[in-house]
Homo-oligomer: A and B are copies of this chain.
Amino acid sequence: MGEQPVAVAVSTVIFGLRPHDGRLALHLPLVRRVREPHLDRWALPGGPLLAEESLREAARRTLQQTTGLSPEHLEQLYTFGAVDRGSGAAGPRVVSIVYWALVRADEAALARTGDNVGWFAVEALPPLAFDHDEIVGWAVKRLVAKLEYTHISHALLPDEFTLGQLREVHEAILGRPLDPANFRRRVEASGTVAPTGAHQAGVRHRPPALYRSTAKKELLT
């Protein structure tokens, strides 16, 4: 069996919520490429897999190095390995394992930005390097799908949150308003949240109850 000259890399689609046009909207951080191919284009953060780290560790490390983020939720998305992917023409072939992640709104707000790292609203992305546009599309699809049958939305919020905040998260991801009454009932019936007993003070209306997620942390490879 002959060995192949294939390089393995890891990239991540990181979702965070940021204000956009007066509303919360789904954003993601991109890094500007500082070498060919696709010099100067925006790309997903990532880097090569090192010999002594797992795929997940590689995703965390490259994320930390390029954006300073430590996502709450990190999950494998898909592996891309078309033959023409490495570069425009020559260069080694790259198999790219893509993860997707969620960071809390407060983390996203604090994240390091600069000339070479920026946050972009998912509905208004610049042209991306490689096939990263397609990858982001897959990640959004996966996020929306998982919103329905899991509790991932909690990963975008702090430990304690109101149901109004949770609803805002869902509305930002789905891109449409949700009925507050029905949303409340669905969430309460799902048993994924528990009231802390405390209420949020200082609002100019009835103080909303605070909830905590009852879901345990994920354990995926």
Residues of A whose CB lies within 8 Å of any CB of B are: 1-8, 47-55, 76, 78-83, 92-93, 95, 97, 221
Contacts and interface: CB of A to CB of B under 8 A. Distances in A.
Contacts of A54: 81-83
B81 A55 contact: yes
Given A76-B78, A95-B95, A83 B4 contact: no
A92 B1 CA distance: 13
A58 to B, nearest CB: 8
A115 to B, nearest CB: 21
A49 B81 contact: yes
A1 B79 contact: no
Chain copies in the assembled complex? 2
Contact of A79 (B7, B52, B79, B82): B79
A37 B146 CA distance: 38
A47 B53 CA distance: 23
Contact of A6 (B51, B76, B83): B51
A80 B49 contact: no
Contacts of A2: 48
Contacts of A48: 1-4
A79 B55 contact: yes
Contacts of A51: 4-6, 93
A8 B96 CA distance: 11
Given A78-B76, A95-B55, A95-B95, A49 B6 contact: yes
